[in-house]
Amino acid sequence: MLTHDQALSLLAAARTESERVGIPMSFAVTDPYGHLLALLRLDGAPWISAEVAQGKAWTAAAYGMPSAGQKTKMDPLPNFAGALTEMTHGKFTPQPGAVPVFDGGRLIGALGASGGTGQEDEDVCSAAVQGSGFSVTKG
């Protein structure tokens, strides 16, 4: 499981990458069970982005895959996606913008972002995770 210091390091890396691309974002780090460990909303990030980042991170942790994968799976199943969102009290967010965090092949958490396009959010998260010495895939 991610330590508090590792979660803060992921936020710092995400902030650096967000500033590099010039898009103010919010970031959420969760443990592998989707519980929030750390949250950062950069100056200028949309007011709702902190909540969206948390949902995306929860989704990436729950499935051990980028949240974009859940969007692809759920696009043809909007009723099922809505039901999952309802059953998880709004946490299930099948949209691009979050990645799992693996260490030595073990899922230890997730990093989600919101503020740019879904692809921009996911790219920033991937760069932050990999730049912090972790992987976004199990293998």
pLDDT per position in the chain (139 positions), as tens? 899 999 999 999 999 999 999 999 999 999 999 999 999 999 999 999 999 999 999 999 999 999 999 999 999 999 999 999 999 999 999 999 999 999 999 999 999 999 999 999 999 999 999 999 999 999 8
In a domain, 139, yes or no: no
**CA gap 32, 134 in Å, rounded:** 14
Q: What span, in angstroms and rounded, lies between the C-alpha atoms of 76 and 5?
A: 39
94, part of any domain: yes
Residue 136 within any structural domain of the chain? no
pLDDT score recorded for residue 139: 82
What residues contact 129, with CB distance under 8 A and at least 6 apart?
A: 10, 13, 99, 101, 111, 135, 136
Identify the domain containing residue 44 by its residue range. 4-131
Q: Is 66:40 a contact under the CB 8 Å cutoff?
A: no
- Residue 82: HSE in the Cβ half-sphere, 13 Å Cα cutoff: 4
The domain spanning residue 62 has which CATH number?
3.30.450.150
Please check whether residue 123 lies inside any domain of the structure: yes
Residue 110 lies in a domain: yes
Domain count for the chain, please give it. 1
Domain for residue 138, yes or no? no
Task: Tell me the pTM.
Answer: 0.96
